[in-house]
């Protein structure tokens, strides 16, 4: 006789098959780390853009219904922050309309929906860590479209979690760590912004947090809500670069500059600090030490070089 357990929507499946999680996103930083978690405990199916184009929300709904997962994680987004300023329509569809459709489909099936968001939904002012309930005031198209997506997800009333995070880094794709390793090897000195403060966050840790949250929401739907998750301790981009160079044994000097010396089409938040206490209280997920995340990333990238 095979032992069986009920999932959120009342379907039954054999213990040992693993929780079936459908992921939107395939080659992005968090999606890549989610795919790495595929195993006996969780079965990860990650959809590429060719399999589920987020510019067509109806395709996303069809994918959820076709795969019939136990939970859905949205790890895909329009993240080209500067490009979004001149491509607002596409950013709105991908960051707001598509997650709204996913959340509605999940609510209809009574399964958890976890969607990754950003500190860009806030104004970026002050120096106090942003709490989940703080008023949003996005200063960019990217931030506004992500905020609109959050609002739409909450309105569905299903089992959901919006997980805001900051400064995502990994051994995959494009991110600050990989950029610093490349530039540091090419130059003797760099000028780097020092007045933007936040918590670098490993994509691996974000992926693990998303799975933990999805599992919890199956049995505890009352924990649905907006949560924060970022690495600790908070630091500046310039100081983060110094630690990267030191750990990778790259002799590149860093000079601090203000954001005003490095203008970009989209305004970057000066204050990206996030208050993550609610996440720890609800799910037992503590802020990860980004220095440990960095060590893991450098090992994957074979740094320091001999």
Q: State the pairing for strand pair 168-169/201-202.
A: parallel
The phi and psi torsions of 251 (rounded to 5 degrees) equal -80, 65
DSSP 8-state class, residue 120:
G
DSSP string, 246-302: HHHT---EEEEE-GGGS--SSPPPSEE-B--HHHHHHH--PPPBHHHHHHHHHHHTT
The phi and psi torsions of 124 (rounded to 5 degrees) equal 85, 10
- CA–CA dist 245, 253 (Å, integer): 9
- The set of catalytic residues is 142
**Would you tell me the crossing angle of helices 98-109 and 57-67 to the nearest 10 degrees?**
30
Q: State the pairing for strand pair 168-169/160-165.
A: unpaired
All residues at 6 or more sequence positions from 278 whose CB lies less than 8 Å from its CB, including other chains: 131, 132, 225, 227, 228
Residue whose C-alpha is closest to residue 248's, from 166, 155, 154, 183: 183
Enter the tokens of residue 112. Answer: 């958890």
């Amino acid at each position: 006789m095979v032992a069986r357990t009920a999932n959120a929507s009342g379907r039954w499946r054999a213990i040992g098959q693993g929780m079936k999680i459908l992921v939107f996103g395939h080659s992005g930083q968090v999606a890549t780390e989610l795919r790495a978690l595929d195993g006996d405990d969780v079965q990860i199916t990650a959809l590429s853009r060719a399999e589920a184009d987020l510019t067509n929300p109806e395709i996303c709904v069809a994918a959820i219904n076709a795969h019939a997962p136990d939970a859905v994680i949205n790890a895909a987004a329009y993240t080209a922050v500067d490009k979004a300023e001149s491509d607002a329509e596409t950013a709105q569809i991908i960051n707001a309309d598509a997650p709204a459709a996913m959340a509605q489909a999940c609510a209809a099936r009574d399964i958890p929906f976890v969607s990754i968001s950003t500190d860009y939904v806030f104004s970026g002012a002050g120096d106090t860590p942003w709490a989940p309930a703080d008023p949003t005031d996005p200063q960019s198209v990217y931030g506004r479209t992500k905020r609109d997506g959050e609002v739409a997800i909450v309105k569905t009333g299903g089992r959901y979690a919006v997980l805001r995070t900051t400064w995502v880094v990994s051994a995959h794709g494009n991110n600050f760590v990989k950029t610093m390793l490349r530039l540091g090897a090419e130059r003797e000195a760099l000028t780097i912004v020092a007045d933007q403060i936040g918590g670098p966050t490993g994509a691996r840790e974000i992926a693990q947090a998303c799975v933990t949250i999805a599992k919890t929401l199956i049995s505890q739907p009352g924990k649905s809500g907006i949560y924060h998750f970022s690495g600790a301790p908070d630091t500046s981009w310039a100081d983060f670069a110094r630690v990267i160079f030191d750990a990778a044994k790259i002799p590149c000097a860093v000079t601090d500059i203000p954001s005003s010396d490095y203008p970009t089409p989209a305004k970057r938040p000066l204050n990206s600090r996030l208050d993550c206490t609610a996440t720890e209280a609800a799910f037992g997920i503590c802020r990860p030490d980004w220095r440990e995340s960095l060590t893991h990333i450098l090992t994957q990238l074979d740094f320091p070089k001999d």
